[in-house]
Structure 1
Amino acid sequence: MGEDLSTIEFSSKDETVVFWNLEDYPIPRGASLDLIYPNIESALHKMGFHGHLSIMAFGDKLYHDIDALSMANIAYDPEVSPGDDSCVWRMTAEIVSFLAVSFPMNYMVVAKQHPELYRVLHCLKSRNQIVLLLEPPGDTAQQDTLFPCVDSVVDCTNVFGGGKPIHALRDNRVYCYLCG
């Protein structure tokens, strides 16, 4: 089955929450934590998402100090039991809990394909929620860096269900301090 190379235009000022499965894609020991948040934020702006960004990390493959993650604007959820896809279940439950939020938001997921997670993502999509997949190339634990630049994030991001997100050209209804 071929990759969907179509593009989908976005211009959103809603918050984007990143749900990151560290067991699938750990942040490498050598990665500069200070670059992850701003590079994801700038990439989202480049793709048309201009709202606040929150990053939540789940799992026990933690190669950085929890305080260092916090200083880098990455919230870590330590409530994961080892084994049996506990991380996937915890992250999926957190995604579902966000459905009760009374304001619109976008979802970005950094995780491999897991049946229950993808079932929930399909449900989100069917409810007209924007779901983005950020899939780092290769084994992130073996890499020196992760998302070293904005374009590396853009290149690894797809819309759930197919397509590449791109910025809707100069939609005057949304002002972005990064895009101008």
Structure 2
Amino acid sequence: MNSRGPWYSSNTCVIWLVEEIPTSSDPNGYLISSNIRSALERMGYLGEERIWCYGPENQSSTEAEWFDVCYESIGDKDKRVRRMLFDMITFASSCDDGKQNNMMVISKTPLTDECFRVLGSFEARGFNVLLVQYDDEAELFRSADAIFDSTTLLDGSRPMDFDSVSWSSFGNWETDSDPGNCTDTVRLDLSSLSFNDIIL
């Protein structure tokens, strides 16, 4: 597994398996995407993020809450999970090996063995894999701190909190060699994969 740190060039995919769409009592709303990004920054994952949500119904939260969040409504939960896996694999296959790539999965219910198999394949390719488990969806997204506190790595350990460490201990992101470069020992075989294989 590669080391973790404040990456200058990082590419993060956030996958959120929605159980119940959160609503806000705050008249000004709160930005779900902003809180997710702030939590990632606290863990040292900087750069481009893409956020996908998969839920059982059409999203009804305010436009502000869903800014920069791609929401897909799929009624059947098994089909939602299969679509989620398909999109995760598609994202991974398109990633630039020159960047540090990260995968964050947010789910209230325990992930299936198939999900863990796919995530393990990502980790073997050098991805940093983050799992977010929670009890209350609405409370989770009210703050970046709540998201951070609910996050573990794939092995169950806690991510580093870069808000509590000295930045002087790290080298120059632009001039240092990229610590994310590693031998790509495991490749996902996508040659025979089709959308219908995953969804149907």
Q: TM-score, normalised by structure 1?
A: 0.75
Contact preservation (8 Å) 1:69, 1:75? no
1:102-127 deviation line (CA, Å, top 9, x unaligned): 41421100123112111101111122
Q: Aligned pair in 2 of structure 1 residues 101, 173: CA closer, same or farther (>3 Å)?
A: farther
Post-superposition offset of 1:29: 2.7
AA aligned opposite 1:155: D
- Decide whether aligned partners of structure 1 residues 160 and 28 sit closer, same or farther in structure 2, where only a CA change above 3 A counts: same
Q: Secondary structure at the match of 2:38?
A: helix
Deviation, 1:46, is 1.1
**Which blocks of at least 5 consecutive residues in structure 1 are unaligned?**
1-7, 176-180
Task: Kindly name which structure, 1 or 2, has the bigger radius of gyration based on alpha carbons.
Answer: 2
Query: Partners of 1:99 and 1:152 in 2: how far apart?
Result: 27
Aligned length: 159
Q: Paired residue for 2:6, among 4, 7, 11?
A: 11
What do the CA deviations read for 1:74-106 (whole angstroms, capped 9, x no partner)? 11124x3x3251111000011011122141421
Task: Name the structure 2 match of 1:174.
Answer: 173
Contact 1:57 1:75 in 2 (8 A): yes
Task: Write the letter of the residue equivalent to 2:118.
Answer: V
Partner residue of 2:43?
47
Cα distance, 1:70 vs. partner?
8.2
Offset, 1:162: 2.1
Tell me which of the two structures has the higher relative contact order, counting C-alpha pairs closer than 8 angstroms and 6 or more residues apart. 1
Provide the rounded CA distance (Å) in 2 between the counterparts of 1:73 and 1:19: 13
Helix, strand or coil for the counterpart of 2:121? helix
> In structure 1, what residue type is equivalent to 2:56?
D
Counterparts of 1:46 and 1:99, CA distance in 2: 23
Q: Distance in 1 between matches of 2:129 and 2:25?
A: 26
After superposition, the C-alpha distances for 1:14-41 in whole angstroms (9 at most, x for unaligned) are 1211011113xx3323376633111111
Change (3 A) 1:155 1:31: farther
Q: Percent identity?
A: 27
- TM-score, structure 2 length as denominator? 0.68
- The 3 A distance-change label for structure 1 pair 98 and 85 is same
Asked if structure 1 preserves the Cα contact closer than 8 Å seen for 2:30 and 2:65, the reply is: no
Helix, strand or coil for the counterpart of 2:140? coil
Pair 1:99 & 2:97 matched: no
Q: In structure 1, give the amino acid aligned to 2:119.
A: L
